[in-house]
């Protein structure tokens, strides 16, 4: 299966998500949050920098729990400014 390239909107959504996670992390160290979420610090660094704009759902769930941020809040960040899709 070939993965389709991300659209500019998806890349922007990933950058928003990364920025929101960085803000939520606040005074906690990147290493502490990453290890609590069960991911590598380098993965969290890439997500926060927008270099990994579409992290796996499980990763986002674990970060949501590690940062005590409701998953719905992270979904709202991702969906902000995304075009509305019609149901098919």
Residue-wise pLDDT for 36-68, tens only, equals 999 999 999 999 999 998 999 999 999 999 999
Q: Which of 72, 53, 71, 48 is nearest to 61 (CA)?
A: 71
pTM of the model as a whole: 0.87
Average pLDDT over residues 18-24: 95
On the question of pLDDT at 81 being above 90, the answer is no
CA proximity to 25, closest of 41, 1, 2: 41
CA distances to 5, 9, 53, 87, 88 from 70, in Å = 28, 23, 19, 26, 29
Helices (H) and strands (E) in the chain, counts: 5, 0
**Residue 48: what pLDDT?**
96
Task: Give residue 43's Cα distance to chain centre.
Answer: 11
Per the prediction, the chain carries an average pLDDT of: 91
Architecture of domain 8-78: Orthogonal Bundle (1.10)
Residue 85 predicted with pLDDT over 60: no
- Residue 56 tokens read as 């796996």
pLDDT above 90: percentage of residues in the chain: 75
């Amino acid at each position: 299966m070939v993965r389709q390239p991300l659209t500019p909107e998806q890349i922007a959504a990933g950058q928003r998500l990364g920025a929101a996670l960085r803000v939520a992390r606040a005074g906690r160290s990147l290493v502490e949050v990453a290890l609590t979420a069960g991911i590598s610090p380098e993965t969290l660094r890439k997500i926060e920098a927008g270099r990994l704009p579409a992290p796996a759902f499980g990763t986002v769930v674990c970060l949501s729990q590690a940062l005590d941020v409701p998953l719905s809040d992270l979904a709202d960040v991702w969906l902000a400014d995304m075009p509305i899709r019609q149901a098919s």
